[in-house]
């Protein structure tokens, strides 16, 4: 009597392993989307905190680049007449986890108000009015999350 596995037994084991790997790969992709969305929301909260510090010192929020893109660095205004601080509030502003395909949109309709928009992969169940975002948050990615600072 010979000891060992038959070809059929080995193929069955490989098929089972293949099915398990396929199932786990699909499960992990959903977890990655959730993790990226959590990072987006965390980034926006950090940016909002810095904006509030900036407003406390300068009586206004930072300027928006072309009224669309988030500034890359947030500092005080040294020549504005309102804010005479050279503080560096945030040396490197966080970017979307899928940057440059997706990015945060920042608009400042008035010196004392702003909106930050993002494209979440799992949008909130309740629809948000994102008309203030101006369209998209990346390469054809529609903004579906807005946070207002007023």
CATH number at residue 120: 3.30.700.10
Q: Does residue 87 fall inside a structural domain? A: yes
1 within some domain: no
- The b-or-e profile of 87-100 (16+ CB within 10 A means b, else e) is eebbeebbebbeee
pTM: 0.76
Q: Tens of pLDDT along 1-34?
A: 678 888 899 999 999 999 998 888 777 778 888 9
* Omega prior to 44 cis, within 30 of 0: no
* Contact indicator for 96, 84 with CB cutoff of 8 Å: no
pLDDT digits (tens, 9 = 90+) for 27-57: 777 888 899 999 999 999 999 999 898 888 8
Instruction: Give me the domain span that covers residue 120.
Output: 7-149
H-state helical runs in 59-126: none
């Amino acid at each position: 009597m010979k000891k060992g596995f038959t070809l059929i037994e080995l193929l069955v084991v490989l098929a089972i392993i293949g099915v398990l790997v396929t199932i786990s790969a699909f499960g992990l992709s959903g977890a990655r989307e959730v993790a990226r969305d959590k990072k987006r929301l965390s980034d926006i909260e950090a940016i909002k905190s810095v904006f509030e510090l900036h407003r406390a010192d300068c009586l206004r929020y930072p300027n928006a680049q072309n009224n669309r893109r988030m500034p890359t660095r947030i500092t005080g205004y040294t020549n504005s007449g309102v804010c005479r601080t050279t503080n560096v509030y945030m040396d490197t502003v966080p970017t979307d986890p899928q940057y440059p395909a997706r990015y945060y949109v920042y608009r400042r309709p008035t010196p004392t108000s702003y909106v930050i928009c993002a494209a979440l992969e799992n949008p909130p169940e309740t629809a948000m009015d994102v008309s203030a975002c101006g369209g998209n948050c990346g390469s054809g990615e529609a903004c579906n999350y807005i946070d207002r600072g007023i």
